[in-house]
Structure 1
Amino acid sequence: MTAEVALKPKDYASAQDVRWCPGCGNYSVIKAVQKTLAEAGNDPENTVFVSGIGCSSRFPYYMETYGFHTIHGRAAAVATGVKIAKPELDVWVVSGDGDSLAIGGNHLLHLLRRNVDVTYLLLNNEIYGLTKGQASPTSRRGTLSPTSPHGTLDQPVNPIEFAIGAHGRFIARCVDSLQGLLSETFSRAHAFHGTSFVEILQNCLVFNDGVFADQEDKKKNEETLLWLRHGEPMLYGADKSKGIRFNPKTYALEPVTIGLDGVTLDDIVVHDETSHGLAMMLSALEAPLPVGVIYAAPEATFIGRQPIPQGTMAKSTARLAGAMHAGNTWRVE
């Protein structure tokens, strides 16, 4: 198959029956991904989806591309190997909050710090859905579950803080119900050279329904979400009368209302997606919750910093093949 004929989103959908629960937020995510690939003109034969274990990790089955459904927490490691072996491939990782930040936390950290050129989608529903509702690393304190019958005691992991702390170069957040935001952010992430990390707040209708209700409800999210645009003031609210300013006493961002207590538009922070310090402050802001591209600062990719000389892979493969077929005994001298 070639990419000479313009493909449509449906051309990236496999013939497999989609086995997510009716109403699952994953449906809107896969729709946005397929739209992004079609708009970019991706050749399905040069596109690879890698996943670990979890509800979202069934993603490769539903894409008419190549794919790896790997073991728990190891998607980032496999994706790194795929990209090193075949740098020309367009590699995506789709993983959940448990898969990415519990058993897979170390692999995700190294993927981010190395800046491997892959697109990483973390679908965060703050619960282990596939294994019937246990608390995950992102579950809020007090969450009741089979593994926390008296409420979760642990401090939850903030995926955006984690990614920024690992020196990820492209970091964004979306909400599963906002299709326009998903498509726009995925397009930006896909075009970025390096690890592009996108957290998607995703509702689990069965085991954690309503955890992001205030962010998903279009009647409320003008007040609960802060839509970030590079070079524009951080305003929110139905009439954009509220904004975010920097408080020098607390060294943190805080919500304010323009016109109250002497606050003017000049006090409102202008978003600079290239600022690492601002990204750190935005990652700690909970109300309103920042969405869109939080941080984007290109840097040389993992392969770009360490080019593999021509012929090296072929020689390495030959040596490995020789060792594998050399027999069952060997001499150590």
Structure 2
Amino acid sequence: MTTTEPGLVGSPLPLDALASVPKSDAPQKPKDYTSDQEVRWCPGCGDYVILATIRALLPKLGLKRENITFISGIGCSSRFPYYLETYGMHSIHGRAPAIATGLATARPDQSVWVVTGDGDAMSIGGNHLIHTLRRNVNLNILMFNNRIYGLTKGQYSPTSEPGKVTKSSPMGSLDHPFNPLSLVLGAQASFVARALDSDRKGLTEVLEAAARHRGTSFVEILQDCPIFNDGSFDLLRKEDAGDHLIPVRHGEKIIFGDDGQHCVIRSGFSLRVAATAEVDEADIIVHDAHAEDPSYAHALANLSSQDLEYTVTGIIRQVRRETYDDQARAQVAAAKETAPSDLQSLLNGSNTWTVG
């Protein structure tokens, strides 16, 4: 069965990423996805709540456990495959997207997930990340962003704020950090979202949408490292967090704050935050995650600031386009139909020469 979801751009494609993944015969519970391995993260680590959220989500997808695979690179987050009762692979630093690409292409009956961190994905793994997004392989990338190297004991990462004092930058980091959402949008990602680890409801909604998106979904999860970068996202968890968090939902006006006192409006080619009471209601932006032109998504991503004064969460962009693995399988099938019937013809190929 194929369809195009309302409001999504692109030609008719399979209903969702899970259309060809075998379904479970019986209802499932989170404990069905809990492995016998002892969870070994530092007390207070944001990984715990992310793990619990995913364990609760997987039964809702209704898939056979043997048709789900989690692949990780290197880092604290990369312990994930050990703690889930699915197939999994703890792979090489930064190379998880490449391994996942091979699996997704060879096995369309698998729901493939990549679990990575800001160091693993955006430093040594940067090239693998952008090319996976560019190709739009049918898999999910979850990037845990704690803005620090945790496993290697507290060096600054590609997302650390300028001036960050760490073991590798005792006088403060001079590096300008990546804005992960801008980076992946520049790589033509078809699904881009962000969630906060402590927001179970928002995180679950984003993860379920990512799981069903056909193509590469990228979800940045803002996550606390209590040992080497404790409190890095506290501004988004305090009583006045509503003044800083900008949750977006497709088709709804971008109004935020505990009393809806803030909103987002256009400012030239960019967006800016304004006081709701001081602008015309018609000027308030209506979030369009399905816009074919990525310039709006870029403007929304750039509204998020490194100092967390404003942080956009939710699904930033979700569009349809052909996936690499679907096209690769179709190309293989076409090649088989036109392949020579005998070995000698295959070896000769279409270009032969006679030497006189």
TM over 0.5: yes
The aligned amino acid for 1:228 is: V
Q: Hey, what does 1:330 align to over in structure 2?
A: none
Q: Aligned partner of 2:50: which letter?
A: V
* Equivalent residue number for residue 66 of structure 1: 87
- Are 1:178 and 1:216, in contact at CA under 8 Å, matched by a contact in 2? no
- Match of 1:258? 276
Residue matched to 1:326? none
1: CA distance, partners of 2:327 / 2:26: 35
Which range is displaced more, 68-77 or 301-310? 301-310
Equivalent in the alignment of 1:325: none
- Output the amino acid matched with 1:225: L
- Alignment-derived partner of residue 294 in structure 1: 316
Answer yes or no: is the 8 Å Cα contact 2:145–2:220 preserved in 1.
yes
- Secondary structure class of the residue paired with 1:199: strand
What is the distance in 1 between the residues matched to 2:333 and 2:141? 28
Match of 2:74 among 32, 53, 56: 53
SS at match of 2:332: coil
Q: CA deviation at 1:305?
A: 2.4
Aligned partner letter, 2:325: I
Task: Report the Cα offset of residue 304 of structure 1.
Answer: 2.0
> How many angstroms apart in 2 are the aligned matches of 1:111 and 1:278?
22
The CA deviation string for residues 148-181 of structure 1, in whole angstroms up to 9 with x for no partner, is 0010101101110111000000000000010111
* Alpha-carbon distance in 1 for matches of 2:259, 2:282: 17
- Contact residue 51 and residue 75 of structure 1 kept, 8 A: yes
Structure 2 counterpart of 1:243: 263
Cα offsets for 1:96-133 (capped at 9, x unmatched):
00000000000000100000000110000000000100
| Equivalent position amino acid for 2:282 in 1 | D
Letter in 1 for 2:326: G
Cα distance in 2 for residues equivalent to 1:282 and 1:42: 34
Distance in 1 (CA, whole Å) between partners of 2:136 and 2:288 is: 21
1:135-146 counterparts in 2 under 5 A? 135-146=156-167
Instruction: Please report how far the alpha carbon of residue 308 of structure 1 lies from its aligned counterpart in structure 2 after TM superposition.
Output: 4.6
1:233 aligns with 2:256: no
Distance in 2 separating the partners of 1:11 and 1:312: 41
User: Could you say if the C-alpha distance between residues 239 and 115 of structure 1 is closer, same or farther in structure 2, counting changes exceeding 3 Å?
Assistant: same
User: Which shifted more, 267-276 or 162-171?
Assistant: 267-276
Q: For the Cα contact (< 8 Å) 2:271–2:300, is it kept in 1?
A: yes
Which residue of the partner structure matches residue 113 of structure 2? 92
Q: Which moved more, 1:28-37 or 1:47-56?
A: 28-37
SS at match of 2:272: strand
* TM-score normalised per structure 2: 0.84
State the alpha-carbon separation in 1 of the partners of residues 140 and 56 from structure 2. Answer: 15
Secondary structure, aligned partner of 2:66: helix
User: Corresponding residue for 2:299?
Assistant: 281
Within 1, Cα distance between the matches of 2:182 and 2:334?
40
CA distance in 1, matches of 2:100, 2:288: 30
Q: Which runs of 5+ in 1 are unaligned?
A: 316-333
Poorly superposed stretches of 4+, deviation over 6 Å: none
TM alignment of 1:102-141, pairs within 5 A: 102-141=123-162
Change beyond 3 A, Cα 1:274–1:144: same
**RMSD, aligned α-carbons:** 1.8
Report the residue type matching 1:309 in the other structure.
V
Letter in 2 for 1:293: I
1:113 and 1:168 in contact (8 A); partners too: yes
Q: What whole-Å deviation, never above 9, does each CA across 1:39-69 have from its counterpart, x for those lacking one?
A: 0112110110000000000000001001110
1:309 aligns with 2:325: no
1: CA distance, partners of 2:172 / 2:31: 42
TM-score (normalised: structure 1): 0.90
Deviates more, 1:193-202 or 1:275-284: 275-284
Determine whether 1:83 maps to 2:104: yes
